[in-house]
Amino acid sequence: MGSVSNTFFRFFGGASAPSEISASSSQRVSRRSSGLNEFTRAVCESNNQDESLCILDLGPTSPANIAHLTGLGHKVYNEDVLQASTDPALSVNMEDGTSVFDLKRFAAENLVYEAALFDAVLCWDVPDYLPETLVKPLVERIHRALKPGGVLLAFFHTRDAGPDAAYYRYHIASKDTLELQRGPQFRLQRVFQNRHIENLFRDYSSIKFFLSRDHIREVLVVR
């Protein structure tokens, strides 16, 4: 595993809290995002006009995200790993009556990309909702698929969010604005403290934290 000796940590004020969200799954509310703004700037600054970038979106398919990113001239790959992790076929029954997650099968069927394919990854808050056994392998798989210097944007709930924190789909409305839409009833599995997030991305070269007022830490990581 890599060292964090060359990693820098910075905290920024930024994202504003969304207003009260309706129970309707079709309702959307706007949320400013400093992390998205930094992600967009990094993607635009690194863009070679002669070659589009490859961006991986790990959330549910969003026509808004596809339109925004392709509008910038990039190629978009989409893979909803959280939904894939709920496949009943991945639960293996043991002789003692317990069940375990089939990590080997999941790895064989998901996030199967060549090394250094992507320039950027939108991870959203997927790690907070994934089964524990999947979180570290997911980050390692993304690390392999990202190009050196590639960027990743992730969101992490703070301890104030609570175990019943709603799961939202993120739709890009502009370079620094997201629209949140209630998604399936995934349960928040854990809350990462800053040191846990730093350790999770210790193989990456740098990490920035953006503080918000809605129980979310935004994190921009560079491969």
Query: Are the C-beta atoms of 49 and 59 separated by less than 8 Å?
Result: no
* Tokens, residue 73: 């001239």
Percent of the chain with pLDDT over 90: 65
Residue 50 lies in a domain: yes
Query: Are the C-beta atoms of 125 and 156 separated by less than 8 Å?
Result: yes
Question: In this model, does residue 211 exceed pLDDT 90?
Answer: no
Residue 2 lies in a domain: no
Residue 110 lies in a domain: yes
Specify the CATH number for the domain of residue 116.
3.40.50
Domain region containing 114: 9-90+100-222
Residue 137 lies in a domain: yes
pLDDT single digits (tens) 22-78 = 444 578 899 999 999 999 998 887 655 557 899 999 999 999 999 999 998 899 999
Domain count, the chain: 1
CA-to-CA dists, residue 77 to 59, 67, 121, angstroms:
10, 12, 9
| pLDDT given at position 12 | 36
Name the β-bridge partners of 219.
Answer: 154, 209
Residue 33 lies in a domain: yes
Residues whose CB falls within 8 Å of the CB of residue 175, separated by 6 or more in sequence, listed in order: 36, 37, 40, 41
| pLDDT given at position 49 | 55
159 band by pLDDT with thresholds 50, 70 and 90? confident
Query: Are the C-beta atoms of 111 and 145 separated by less than 8 Å?
Result: yes
Scored b (16 or more CB within 10 A) or e, 175-208 reads bbbbbbbbbeebebeebbeeeebbebbebbebbb
CA-nearest of 74, 144, 159, 86 to 113 is: 144
Query: Are the C-beta atoms of 221 and 204 separated by less than 8 Å?
Result: yes
Average pLDDT taken over every residue of the chain: 85
* Tokens, residue 5: 């000796």
* Strand pairing report for 206-211 and 177-182: unpaired
Residue 3 lies in a domain: no
* pTM for the full predicted model: 0.84
Residue 1 lies in a domain: no
* Tokens, residue 83: 């939904």
Residue 95 lies in a domain: no
| pLDDT given at position 50 | 59
| pLDDT given at position 97 | 77
